[in-house]
Chains A and B, each alone.
Chain A
Amino acid sequence: MSEKLLEIKNLKTSFRIKDDYYAAVDNLSLSVNKNEVLAVVGESGCGKSALAFSVMGLHTRAKIEGNILFKDHDIANISSNDLNNLRGNEMGMIFQDPLTSLNPLMEIGDQIGETLILHNKDLSAEKRKEKIIGLLDKVGIPRPERVYKQFPHELSGGMRQRVMIAMAIANEPELLIADEPTTALDVTIQSQILELINELKEDMNAGIVLITHDLGVVAEMADRVAVMYAGQIVEIADVHTLFESPKHPYTRSLLNSVPNADKAQDKLHVIQGIVPALQNLPREGCRFKARIPWVDDSEHEENPELHEVTPGHFVRCTCYKHFDFPESKEEQHGIS
């Protein structure tokens, strides 16, 4: 059993809508081991980014309950000073949209340099520049000396994401959070960036949390996968188990929705309905119930828990035992 790097216990991240708080991440427990890539998948609005932001302590207006244990600190209750010492140093983050994530008025070198200045005060200006150029080179940026002096608008999206990665790994963090790092990039660049993260993971010795909704990315990168739905983890397993024997209806529906090049398909599989808005989320019973109406109510648990199916493979609710895709195409309510 490998060592735990990050342990999240009963995390509840709630946002205020009008006068009430609604949990976007609801009672979630999860751990990330050293040298492991944990992928968190789920559709838009399931709370995966809220989870990532909670771990980085980036929420300014959310209410956070529970514990986020990392390196003798509980990020859920941490002083801003301690948090700033961790961020950029022990943990780094890569954001979704590299086009807007860099300060438009600062040279690339200065932006990466800021991370170094903040956490490594002894580094001389010369050494720092050397290190920044080394980092730029490491993330595959051609002519790093030139890019050092350039501004973000002079770089392409892929290059900017490489800069973001260089920034996140500048201080060799032990935990790297990548929040949909390839969503804003086009497909060819996506694979290059993933390749880069894969390469870095080898010599970085860090735990990586990869937030994504792209199952292709998951299959390529992850060691373990947590599937999130409506603020909860509905299934968690290592990547092989999850792809070979998915249990939860949501996981199976997701996997079923991926277009298959080998199989002739008339229509793509579509999961009925939509993710309910935060304030309309069912807080009791199986949260996925409304989207698989053909499964009988009695087959859901009243208070769905995570059940260990095989070692390390957890599934929420008992409904998975009775779930099957409807036979006829009409019942599926697919795209017409």
Chain B
Amino acid sequence: MWKFTVRRILIMIPQIILLSVLVFIMAKMMPGDALSGMVDPNVDPERLDEIRENLGWNDPWHIQYADWVGGVFQGDLGQSFRFKMPVTEIIGQRIVNTFWLSVATLVFTYLISIPLGITSGRYNDSLLDQAITSYTYIGFATPLFIFALVMLWVFGFMLGWFPTSGSVAPGLEPGTFEYVMSKIYHLILPAFSMALITTVNTVQYLRSEIIDTKQKDFILTARAKGASESRVYNRHILRNSLLPIAAFFGFEITGLIGGTVFVENIFGYPGMGQLFLESITLRDYSVVTSVVLLFGIASILGALLSDIILSLVDPRIRIK
């Protein structure tokens, strides 16, 4: 088990190095730079070139890359041109918000998908199953950014049940009970909107896994032992069907990253996704590279998590 985990973590190192190179090169390839859009056009272009030279932007890419990586290792992700403050500080504020949004979304996702998937798989081809399957098809077909807008409009504006922007009500002291409650209150609508759409994969996956496992030979064995129907489902079918769902957990995180970019923008939720889009439009490339790097690392960690979970729950993998 330990050997497996350590080896799996070692594999991550080249992945992250490759990721950082790609991220850096892509950021450099973006047309324009922070000076081209934000500086008074009357400034002498020669002066701009001088600044570029001073900032080291005319050096060969590998030297710039080495500078950047050296900074990253010291916890220095550079300066944001827009906010005029260290990137780490900007990200630090936002990453917490995105983290909680992701956690809430994951909780909603599994709260919805597991009961629906189980019902749908166990009573397949029943009316209930058809209703659940219809929901998943609608979920597959609906773009998240449209659905999130509709949710915002209905529950935020028309009914006024939930706040329409921000991550906390203004004027509250951090650490107080009201502050936490307000945070949660702001989370619910974006997280729920995202979960309703992203959960359909898991519902469908679980459904087909259960239908598949139902027909396995060892289910017959369990019945032949005299296990009751509920025992057959809970102890034999469910555990085997949840394997791929557990394995999928890490990749769910990757999916969340894409989701948060949309949802945070629509709900005006100050998180990494919102920061990401804003920074791209403003060519604040030190922020963009940092955010992409963090997203990438989160995906790699997600895959690692998947493998570790799978090796924990599936004895067949533990051995290898």
Which A residues lie at the B interface, using CB under 8 A?
Answer: 56, 58, 80-81, 84-89, 92-93, 95, 97, 100-105, 114-115, 118-119, 151, 153-154, 164, 167-168
Q: Which residues of A are found within 8 Å of B314, using beta-carbon distances?
A: 104-105
B226 A104 Cβ-Cβ under 8 A: no
Per-position 1/0 for B225-266, Cβ under 8 A of A: 111110100011001100100000000000000000000000
Pull 21 A–B residue pairs with CB atoms less than 8 Å apart, ordered by A: A56-B223, A58-B224, A84-B226, A87-B223, A88-B224, A93-B224, A95-B221, A95-B224, A100-B216, A101-B220, A101-B221, A102-B218, A103-B221, A103-B240, A105-B314, A115-B226, A118-B227, A119-B226, A151-B315, A153-B319, A154-B319
Q: Which residues of A are found within 8 Å of B235, using beta-carbon distances?
A: 114
Q: Assuming the A-B contacts A95-B220, A97-B217, are A153 and B228 also in contact, with contact meaning beta carbons closer than 8 angstroms in the complex? A: no
In the docked arrangement, what's the CA distance between A239 and B229, Å? 39
Q: A89-B226, A104-B315, A115-B226 are known contacts; what are 10 more A-B pairs with Cβ within 8 Å?
A: A80-B228, A81-B228, A84-B226, A87-B226, A88-B227, A95-B220, A104-B240, A105-B239, A118-B227, A167-B221
B235 to chain A, nearest CB (A): 8
Residue of A nearest to B218 (CB): A103
Q: Assuming the A-B contacts A58-B224, A153-B315, are A101 and B229 also in contact, with contact meaning beta carbons closer than 8 angstroms in the complex? A: no
B224 A104 Cβ-Cβ under 8 A: no
The answer to the question of B184 belonging to the interface, with a C-beta cut-off of 8 Å to chain A, is no
Per-position 1/0 for B291-320, Cβ under 8 A of A: 000000000000000000000011110010
The answer to the question of B222 belonging to the interface, with a C-beta cut-off of 8 Å to chain A, is yes
Residue of B nearest to A92 (CB): B224
A56 B227 Cβ-Cβ under 8 A: no
Q: Assuming the A-B contacts A101-B218, A103-B218, A104-B218, are A167 and B240 also in contact, with contact meaning beta carbons closer than 8 angstroms in the complex? A: no
A105 B228 Cβ-Cβ under 8 A: no
In the docked arrangement, what's the CA distance between A318 and B137, Å? 61
In the docked arrangement, what's the CA distance between A84 and B222, Å? 10
A151 to chain B, nearest CB (A): 4
Residue of A nearest to B227 (CB): A118
In the docked arrangement, what's the CA distance between A115 and B221, Å? 10
Chain B interfacial residues counted at CB < 8 A = 24
A228 to chain B, nearest CB (A): 21
A153 B316 Cβ-Cβ under 8 A: yes
Residue of A nearest to B313 (CB): A105
Q: Assuming the A-B contacts A151-B315, A153-B315, are A101 and B226 also in contact, with contact meaning beta carbons closer than 8 angstroms in the complex? A: no
Among B218, B223, B224, B228, the one with the most A-chain Cβ atoms within 10 Å of its Cβ is B224
Q: Assuming the A-B contacts A151-B315, A151-B316, are A102 and B221 also in contact, with contact meaning beta carbons closer than 8 angstroms in the complex? A: yes
Q: Which residues of A are found within 8 Å of B231, using beta-carbon distances?
A: 118
Per-position 1/0 for B18-42, Cβ under 8 A of A: 0000000000000000000000000
Q: Assuming the A-B contacts A103-B236, A105-B240, A105-B314, are A87 and B225 also in contact, with contact meaning beta carbons closer than 8 angstroms in the complex? A: yes
Residue of A nearest to B316 (CB): A153
Q: Which residues of B are found within 8 Å of A168, using beta-carbon distances?
A: 224
Among B216, B222, B228, the one with the most A-chain Cβ atoms within 10 Å of its Cβ is B222
In the docked arrangement, what's the CA distance between A168 and B220, Å? 12
Q: Which residues of B are found within 8 Å of A100, using beta-carbon distances?
A: 216-218
In the docked arrangement, what's the CA distance between A165 and B231, Å? 22
Q: Which 4 pairs of residues, A with B, have the shortest CB-CB distance? A: A88-B226, A88-B225, A87-B226, A100-B217
Q: Assuming the A-B contacts A80-B229, A95-B217, A103-B240, are A58 and B223 also in contact, with contact meaning beta carbons closer than 8 angstroms in the complex? A: yes
